[in-house]
Amino acid sequence: MRKLLSLIVIIILAQNVAGAFSFNIDKPGTYLSSKSGKVINGTVVVANTGKDTLYFKSYIADWKILPDGSKAFYPAGSTGLSSAPWLSIYPKEFAVEPLGKEKISYIMTVPKNAVGGHYSVIFFETYDKNNTKNNILFSGRIGSIIYHQVEGTEKIDANLTDVFVDYKNGKRTVSYMFENMGNIFLLVKPSLAILNDRGQVAFRESMDKFGVLPGQKIVRTYKVSQKLPDGDYTALITTEYGKEDFKVVEKEFRSINQGGNALNLLNKSDAAITINYNKSTSSETVSRRENLGLAQKISIEKFNPVVNKNKIKLFVLLKNPIEEAISANALITVSDAFRNKKLMVSLGRNFQIANKGKKIMNKIIGHSLAAGTYTVTLDVMNGIDTLAKDEKTIVIR
């Protein structure tokens, strides 16, 4: 999917096209956040980059994300997550001289009982001022997408399911379904890795980001461009979303080359194994493969969490003892005395430690924790495999 903040331009061509125009806006997308009951003021600047004066009307609409990742637009207030009733804009009609600009103001009044995320779009559409029936040169519109979430009510949760590896018509694909189970818009950054039965990466690729509205399910399919030798493999789909949240799901399959020509990818099991790291729900489920046989290990030279004004300061020194570089992720989990997880924070994602090299990592965890005794756990992982783990006890007074 193209960038979420890309311009949404709809051009409608009519009869007797006699010229062309060009215009743009300074804010193709705006992310707003406020408490309920608050009023937000903002502006969007429309610029005429053409040679003729343009006449505009501005209005508000709703939008949804279609299964293919594109946006569809609907009348204002017609969708369940609409913020259109909260918005007012001025002016609603205006002209912009050649190479000129016009500032359009909007006011968002957030209801006192609002929760989660709400969304809308402000359109700027050109029109023929003379309103002649047979001389419409162009009609075009451009939209500024409005994202809003109510502070303190956000719920971030997701599900990653239905992983399937397939081979048809000479194309090898991995597909999965991502479900937004929270109440705010999620921008998802996915990646695909395929490991052989020795835990070595046979294929890796980062995928295009995509957006998912609350309650929405989106199926994504990716092509595996690299031919795989005979053997057993595991496909790992990683989806990062929110600020500290990500999920990994794995699917085992078998590659069989027939006569050196055809490649079949056979799913070895209908069940996929999922790893969930979710700060919002403080949940963690880790399932490990029995046959990975990964020999890479990282040593934790120093792991020193220190409490300072109810904040946890971390200093971590990792060492790679082997003769090749290691890719890893580091996750910090803070649990109370009863082993209830209070928060999970990513210390680093997809970082490399050179052969025989070291990695220094610093982080301040600013989450507010009540007085008590806590266990701080460091997990260093490669894919779903733990390379190193350490725990420390801290006391917050």
Token pair 């790679």 is found at 320
Q: Look at residue 151 in the predicted model and tell me its pLDDT.
A: 95
Residue 112, CA atoms < 13 Å, CB-side half-sphere:
0
360 burial level (CB within 10 Å; 0-12, 13-18, 19+): exposed
Q: Are 265 and 232 in contact (CB under 8 A)?
A: no
Report the distance separating Cα 68 and Cα 45, nearest Å. Answer: 30
Structure tokens at 324: 């090749």
Q: Domains along the chain? A: 8-150 (2.60.40.10), 158-285 (2.60.40.2360), 299-396 (2.60.40.10)
Residue in 128, 126, 125, 127 with CA at minimum distance from that of residue 143: 125
Q: Look at residue 119 in the predicted model and tell me its pLDDT.
A: 97
Q: Look at residue 13 in the predicted model and tell me its pLDDT.
A: 35
Q: Look at residue 367 in the predicted model and tell me its pLDDT.
A: 66
Report the distance separating Cα 114 and Cα 211, nearest Å. Answer: 22
Ranges in the chain, pLDDT < 70:
1-21, 131-139, 199, 244, 256-297, 309, 337-342, 344, 366-368, 383-385
Question: Can you say how many angstroms the Cα of residue 373 is from the centroid of all Cα atoms in its chain?
Answer: 34
Q: Are 180 and 214 in contact (CB under 8 A)?
A: yes
Could you report the per-residue pLDDT of 87-145, keeping only the tens digit for each?
999 999 999 999 999 999 999 999 999 999 999 999 999 988 775 554 444 568 899 99
Task: Name 314's Cβ contacts closer than 8 Å, sequence gap at least 6.
Answer: 303, 304, 305, 306, 332, 347, 361, 362, 363, 364, 365, 376
CB neighbours (10 Å) of residue 256? 13
Report the distance separating Cα 292 and Cα 298, nearest Å. Answer: 17
Task: Name 132's Cβ contacts closer than 8 Å, sequence gap at least 6.
Answer: none
Q: Is 372 left (phi over 0), alpha (psi -120 to 50) or beta?
A: left
Indicate if the alpha-carbon torsion angle 209, 210, 213, 214 is positive or negative: negative
Q: Look at residue 94 in the predicted model and tell me its pLDDT.
A: 95
CB neighbours (10 Å) of residue 176? 22
Task: Name 362's Cβ contacts closer than 8 Å, sequence gap at least 6.
Answer: 313, 314, 315, 316
Report the 3 state secondary structure along the chain: CCCCCCCEEEEEECCCCCCCCCEEECCCEEEEEECCCCEEEEEEEEEECCCCCEEEEEEEEEEEECCCCCEEEEECCCCCCECHHHEEEECCEEEECCCCEEEEEEEEECCCCCCCEEEEEEEEEECCCCCCCCCCCEEEEEEEEEEEEECCCCCCCEEEEEEEEEEECCEEEEEEEEEECCCCCEEEEEEEEEEECCCCEEEEEECCCEEECCCCEEEEEEECCCCCCCEEEEEEEEEEECCCEEEEEEEEEEEEEECCCEEEEEECCCCCEEEEEECCCCEEECCCCCCCCCCCCCEEEEEEEEEECCEEEEEEEEECCCCCCEEEEEEEEEEECCCCEEEEEEEEEEEEECCCCEEEEEEEECCCCCCEEEEEEEEEEECCEEEEEEEEEEEEC
Peptide bond into 214 cis (omega under 30): no
Q: Are 96 and 23 in contact (CB under 8 A)?
A: yes
Q: Look at residue 109 in the predicted model and tell me its pLDDT.
A: 97
Q: Look at residue 15 in the predicted model and tell me its pLDDT.
A: 34
